[in-house]
Amino acid sequence: MTGAYWDRIRRHYRAVEQMLMGARSRWVIDPYAWDFQAGIRMTPIEAALWHDIRAECAVLYPQYPVAGHFVDFGNPAAKVAIECDGAAFHQDAARDRARQQRIESAGWTVLRLSGAECSATDRYYVDADGRDRLEIGPARRLIRAAVLDHGIGEV
């Protein structure tokens, strides 16, 4: 993606920053208007995680700018980010550590999931007693914990 793409996203978030900073647990801009407002494009693993974020009623904004970087999903009021670690984008471990340290130095908590965890789906099954069960995937478990621990759930 080009520098113009990232500049457009920065301008979008700059325009709504004051509203976002006052709203930890509620949406202040349309969570489905990324294509129209900022032109944000998600990778397949980000799209899968976005589905789980919405299913858990978490308030996280895609491609949020933090400390000169873009986190996959971030809540600026709570300073919480969730990153999807797809193999193609994280091949330089030293660079990734330095990036995370800069983000954390800005006061943010960074939660990480592998690409496989971002894409994992919930599993429905019948237990030994014949009862229907649901086992939620790792992404939804992490998002639920973030909602509880950081107060980023929709109210």
The structural domains of the chain, with segments of one domain joined by +, span 3-150
CA angle 6, 49, 84 (to 5 degrees): 60
Mean pLDDT of 137-143: 94
Query: 138 versus 122: which is more confidently predicted?
Result: 138
pLDDT tens digits, one per residue of 15-59: 999 999 988 899 888 877 776 666 788 889 999 999 999 999 999
Mean pLDDT of 127-153: 92
Q: What is the pTM of this model?
A: 0.88
Q: Which residues of 59-78 are buried (b: 16+ CB within 10 A; e: fewer)?
A: bbbbbbbbeeebbbbbbbbb
Q: Which residues pair with 86 in a beta bridge?
A: none
Quick one: CA dihedral 85, 89, 91, 93, positive or negative? negative
The two structure tokens encoding residue 151: 């107060």
**Under CATH, which number does the domain 3-150 receive?**
3.40.960.10
Mean pLDDT of 121-129: 85
Is 60 exceeded by the pLDDT of residue 14? yes
Nearest 5°: phi and psi at 73?
Answer: -145, 135
Number of other residues whose CB lies within 10 A of the CB of residue 48: 21
What is the average pLDDT value for the chain, to the nearest integer? 89
- Residue 85 one-letter amino acid: D
pLDDT tens digits, one per residue of 68-99: 999 999 999 999 999 998 876 567 778 888 99
